[in-house]
Structure 1
Amino acid sequence: MRHTQALADSALPLFALTDLPQAHPSASSSTREPSYLHDHRHRLRTRFAERGAASVPDYELLELLLFRAMPRQDVKPLANRLMEQFGDFNEVVSAPEGRLLEIEGVGPAVVQDLKIVEAAAHRMARARILNRHVLSNWDALLDYCHTTMAHRATEQFRVLYLDARNALLADEEQAQGTVDHVPVYPREVVKRALEFNASALILVHNHPSGDATPSSADISMTQAILRAAEALGLTVHEHLIIGREDEFSFREAELLRPDTE
Structure 2
Amino acid sequence: MGKLTGLSEANLAFDLPPGIAPRPSRPPPPRRKDQTSDTEPEAGPEGHRKRLRDKLLRAGPEALADYELLEMLLFLALPRVDTKPLAKRLMARFGSFGRTVSAPEPELRGVEGAGDAVIAALRLARATALKLMAEEVREAPVLNNWERLIDYLSAALARESVEQFRILFLDSRNRLLADEAQARGTVNHTPVYPREVVKRALELGATALILVHNHPSGDPTPSRADREMTAEVKAAAATLGIVVHDHLIIGNGRHLSFRREGLL
Shift of 1:73: 2.1
| Corresponding position of 1:252 | 260
1:165 to 170, 173, 184: 173
Gaps of 5+ in 2: 1-33, 35-41
| Counterpart check, 1:206 vs 2:214 | yes
Shift of the alpha carbon at 1:131?
A: 6.1
SS in 1 for 2:138: coil
Bigger Rg, which one: 2
> Counterpart of 2:110?
102
User: How many Å separate the matches in 1 of 2:138 and 2:99?
Assistant: 25
Retained in 2: the 8 A contact 1:131–1:169? no
Q: Report the counterpart of residue 68 of structure 2 in structure 1.
A: 60
Please say if 1:229 is aligned against 2:237.
yes
CA separation in 1, counterparts of 2:78 and 2:176? Answer: 40
Q: Which residue of 2 aligns with 1:77?
A: 85
Structure 1, unmatched stretches of 5+, are: 1-26, 28-33, 257-261
Compute the TM-score of the two structures, normalised by the length of structure 1: 0.81
Alignment of structure 1 residues 113-192 onto 2, 5 Å: 113-130=121-138, 132-192=140-200
Deviations 1:91-133 (A, max 9, x none): 1111122221121111111111111111111111111122631
Give SS of 1:128's match.
Answer: helix
Residue correspondences, number: 224
Equivalent position SS for 1:83: helix
Task: Summarize the alignment of residues 10-49 of structure 1 with structure 2, pairs less than 5 Å apart.
Answer: 35-49=43-57
| Residue identity matched to 2:161 | A
Give the ranges of 4+ consecutive aligned residues of structure 1 lying more than 3 Å apart after TM superposition.
none
The one-letter code of the counterpart of 1:253 is E
Aligned CA RMSD, in angstroms, stands at 1.6
* Deviation of the 1:228 alpha carbon: 1.1
Q: Percent identity?
A: 54
Equivalent position of 1:90 in the other structure:
98
Question: Higher relative contact order at CA 8 Å, sep ≥6: structure 1 or structure 2?
Answer: 1
